[in-house]
Amino acid sequence: MSSEDKTLALLSHILSLFVGFIAPLVIWLIKKDQSQYVAEQAKESLNFQISLLIYYFVAWILTFLVIGLILLPALWVFSVIVVILAAVKANSGEMYRYPLTIRFVK
């Protein structure tokens, strides 16, 4: 595995903090036939970001019951922590699987 593969895998995780599912989607579409490692990491990040959208929507609905006011910031903190963990693992060449992720893209 090349350092470029590790960098692209890292970017698929880190950039998702700023642009959501767009970065991992683009990286996955470009590299899916060229690098299995980059494709797997980008796909994992993409699935996590799609799952997060669903979780944020549910938490937003639950703000009407007040519990969402607690869930929204907790979800944000959780997502930042696991994205950083994923980026560190990706940079070292290890596969990372996000917890609580629905695997939409197989």
Each residue's pLDDT tens digit, 58-106: 999 999 888 889 999 999 999 999 999 999 999 999 999 999 999 999 8
Domain annotation covers residue 96: no
Per-residue pLDDT at 97:
96
Number of domains in the chain: 1
Domain that holds residue 36: 3-91
CB 9 within 8 Å of CB 90: yes
Q: Distance between CA atoms of 106 and 84, rounded to whole angstroms? A: 23
Per-residue pLDDT at 106:
86
Mean pLDDT for 3-23 is 95
pLDDT of 54 above 90 = yes
CB 95 within 8 Å of CB 75: no
Per-residue pLDDT at 31:
93
Give the position of tokens 């698929």.
Answer: 12
Nearest C-alpha neighbor of 29 from the set 42, 16, 15: 42
Domain annotation covers residue 76: yes
Per-residue pLDDT at 1:
79
Q: How many CA atoms lie within 13 A of 53 on its CB side?
A: 11
Domain annotation covers residue 80: yes
The C-alpha R_g of the chain, in whole angstroms, comes to 14
